Amino acid sequence: MESALSIEHAKHALMVFGLILMLGTVSGLLSRATKIPDVVIFLLAGMAVGPTGFDWVDIPANSELNQLILIFGSSYILFDGGASLRFKVMKEVWITVAVISTVGILVTAAITGWAARHILGVPLIVALLLGATLASTDPATLVPIFKQVRIKDRVAQTIMSESAFNDAMGAIVTFAVLAVAMGQADFSVGSSLLHLGWQTGVGIAAGAVLGFVGAAVIAHEKYGFLADYSRLVTLMAVIAAYIGADGLQASGFMAVFVFGMMLGNMESLGFVVGEREQEEMEDFISTTGLIMRMFIFVMLGSQVDFALMGKYAIGGALVVTVLMLVARPVTVFACTLVDRRARWSFREMLFMCWTRETGVIPAALAGMLVGMKAPGAEMIASVTFIAILMTILIQATTTKWLAGRLGLLHADPA
C-alpha cells in the first residue's frame, strides 16, 4: 500500500514538474514578445495556477520539495550571476558593494521599520523585525533581469553583487532583532558582528577555493582532465560550494556566487578555454538558469496567500511604498557617496534607487519566522508577499524603460 502511494505521489510530482515547464515555456515566449522580464510572467503564471487560482500547482512552502528547489535554484542563479561579473569592474566598485551590503541593510531596515511602526501600529520591535526581513534584495530576481536588460556594466554588476552579498547580513539582522523580540538574553552586538564576519569570510574563501579548483580541472593545460565534463562540474561544484559553506556555518549563497566569479574569470587566473567550449558552457548555464527561474517563480506565485495579504493590504502597500521610495534612495545615496573612488553619477545612483526587488530570500526569512512563531509573524509574511508582488510587478517591468531614460542601456549588438 505504501509503495503504491509513493508511486502516486511521484506521478503527481512529475505531472506538476511538466506543467511548470510548459507554463514556463509559454511565459518565456510571452516575455520575449512583450519585452517584460520573464520573472514577472512566471510569477503571474504561478498565481494563476496556484491554490487560489486553478489549483493545478500546490507545493506547500514548508515542504522538502519546495526547499530543495529554492535552495538549488537560487544557488544556481547566483552562480550564473557571479560568472557574468568581471574582476576589473569589481575593483572599481568594491567599496560601494561592501558598504551597501552591510551598512545599507541597517539603514533600510531602520527606515522601513519606522514606517511600519507608524503605519501598521505594531510594537517597535515587531516593526524592526519586518524591516530587517525586507531589507535584503533578491539575487534570484535581479540576476535574470540583468541577463535580459543590458545595463552599463559597473551599475549592473554592483546591483547583482549587492544582492548576493547582502543576504547574509539581512539574515543576521533579522535573527538579531528576533532574539530581542523573544527575550533571549544571550544576544550581543559583538557576537553578531563576529558571526557576520565568519559567514562572509568563510563563504568567500570556500567559493574561491572551489572556483580555482573547478577552473583548474576544466581548463588547466596539463591537469584539466574534466574539460569534457565542464557542465557537470558546474552542477557538482554549485552543490559542493553551498553545502560546504553551510556546513561551516557560513553563507552558502555567497560561496556559490564567488565560485561563479572564479569560473567566469578563468582567463584572469591564467587558464584558457576554447571559444567552442566556452559557448557550450554558457549555453548550458543559460538553459539551466532559465529552468530554475521557471520553477522558483511559478512556485512562489502559487504560494501567494491572498486571504492573508488582504488583512494588511493597504497598510502593507504603504510600508512597501516607503521601502521603495524612501528607504532605498536614502540607502543608495548614503552608501555610494562614501565611495569617492567610484565617482557615481546622479543618473547611476537614481537607477540603483529604483532597482531593489524583493523575492526568494525575504520570502524564506518570513517563512522561517512563521515556523518559529515569532511575534507578528503573520503580519510579516503578509507584508513580505505584498513587497514581492509590488517590487517585481512595478520595478522589474520598468527597469529597461528607466535605464533607457537615464542613458544606461548598452547598444544592442548588430
**Distance, first Cα to last Cα, the chain:** 61
> Angle 38-49/139-148 helices, nearest 10 degrees?
130
- Alpha carbons 69 and 178: distance in angstroms, whole number: 26
Give residue 385's pLDDT.
86
For 121: left if phi > 0, alpha if psi spans -120 to 50, otherwise beta; the answer is left
Residue with cell 554558457: 282
Give residue 335's pLDDT.
92
- Alpha carbons 54 and 232: distance in angstroms, whole number: 37
List helix spans (H) across 152-188.
153-181
- Alpha carbons 218 and 223: distance in angstroms, whole number: 8
Nearest CA-CA partner of 132 in 358, 321, 354: 358
Q: Give how far Cα 48 sits from Cα of 20, 40, 104, 304, 363, Å.
A: 12, 13, 35, 10, 19
135 contact partners, CB below 8 Å, separation of at least 6:
105, 106, 108, 109, 112, 166, 170, 173
- Alpha carbons 337 and 350: distance in angstroms, whole number: 12
**What number of other Cβ atoms are within 10 A of residue 247's Cβ?**
10
Q: Is 409 helix (H, G, I), strand (E, B) or coil?
A: strand
Which residues are registered as beta bridge partners of 409?
151
Q: Which three cell numbers stand for residue 29?
A: 515566449
The whole model's pTM is what?
0.77
Q: How many residues does the chain have?
A: 414
- Alpha carbons 403 and 114: distance in angstroms, whole number: 30
- Alpha carbons 208 and 215: distance in angstroms, whole number: 10
b/e for 223-238, b at 16 or more Cβ within 10 A?
A: ebebeeebbebbbebb
Domain boundaries, the chain: 20-405
**Alpha carbon 396 to chain centroid distance?**
13
- Alpha carbons 125 and 114: distance in angstroms, whole number: 10
Please name the CATH architecture into which domain 20-405 falls: Up-down Bundle (1.20)
Burial of 346 (0-12, 13-18, 19+ CB in 10 A): exposed
From first to last of its 414 residues, what are the pLDDT tens digits of the chain? Answer: 556 777 887 887 888 888 888 988 898 888 888 878 788 888 888 888 888 788 888 887 777 787 788 788 878 887 887 787 778 777 888 889 889 988 999 999 999 999 999 999 999 889 999 999 999 887 777 878 887 788 888 888 888 888 877 876 787 788 778 877 776 545 566 666 677 678 778 888 888 888 888 888 887 666 667 777 777 888 888 888 888 888 887 778 788 888 888 888 887 777 776 677 777 777 888 788 888 888 888 888 887 778 777 888 899 999 999 999 999 999 999 999 888 888 899 999 999 999 888 877 787 778 778 767 788 888 988 898 899 889 988 998 899 899 999 998 875 543
DSSP 316-360: HHHHHHHIIIIIHHHHHHHHHTT-TTT---HHHHHHHHH-----H
Give residue 189's pLDDT.
61
Nearest CA-CA partner of 327 in 356, 351, 347, 349: 356
- Alpha carbons 364 and 342: distance in angstroms, whole number: 33
Give residue 188's pLDDT.
60
- Quote the DSSP letter at residue 228: G
